[in-house]
Amino acid sequence: MISEERRARLNERQFFGRRKGPALSPRQQDVMVRGYARYGIDLPEKSSAASASGASGPGDQGAVALDLSALFPAGIKSFGLEIGFGKGEHLAHQARTRPVMGFIGCEPFLNGMAACLDVLLRENITNVRVYMDDARAMIDALPDAGLDIVYLLHPDPWHKKRHAKRRFVNPDNLDALARVLKPGGELRIVTDDPVYRQWTAIRMTERTDFHWMAEKPADWRTPPADWIDTRYALKAGREGRLDCFFRYQKL
């Protein structure tokens, strides 16, 4: 798992909020134990030399990249990542829709992880693996150009100006995602927050390694064909907050 040294550095700019909600029931605790044993990912540790230098990512000396093919059943050769999957509704939907793609989901919130694992176990979904910690640690461990698609759906907007540095869409994280996405791969960002919409558009316009796939306004107002309305998205719609669908191709 992630070292305490690495955790301390990541926590300097944490992009998610709380890790726990209401106490898990005995059944949910059982789901967590059985589910994480089957679906959970333990990250490889870096060598002591790399840790001492503060290096991260498989391109750095001593770092070990995950073998994505080894995580999933035979025959899966394409891979996706969802950053902050909530209760896993979208993650499970994508896994059902694309049974020959392997999906990694990152979610630090205990109750959300338990809900997702419950679905994975009940439906015996085999092409998902999960990580219950900071997604940036997972991204650090991924191989160069290893992913076909990355989803960042409804990230915390961190409305206060002093918290803007905690927004996931920032140059460092975008550099990391550019490294792990294949040329032609897709970065999909969905938000219902007008501040985050503007923030994302500005940050992504500054990039030369991503191409915005929208050709007309309707393209970023219309959900992709494989979209599913999660409970969060439905609630936002009832409250008059409409999703904006940003889709970018890695150059």
Question: Which residues are annotated as catalytic?
Answer: 156
Query: Which two tokens mark 175?
Result: 């550099």
Q: Give the burial string for 52-72 (b: 16+ CB within 10 Å, else e).
A: eeebbbbeeeebebbebeebb
What are the residues whose beta carbons fall under 8 Å from the beta carbon of 208, sequence distance 6 or more?
A: 251
SS (H, E, C) the chain: CCCHHHHHHHHCCCCCCCCCCCCCCHHHHHHHHHHHHHHECCCCCCCHHHHHHCCCCCCCCCCCCCCHHHHCCCCCCEEEEEECCCCCHHHHHHHHHCCCEEEEEECCCHHHHHHHHHHHHHHCCCCEEEECCCHHHHHHHCCCCCEEEEEEECCCCCCCHHHHHHCCCCHHHHHHHHHHEEEEEEEEEEECCHHHHHHHHHHHHCCCCEEECCCCHHHHHCCCCCCCCCHHHHHHHHCCCCCEEEEEEEC
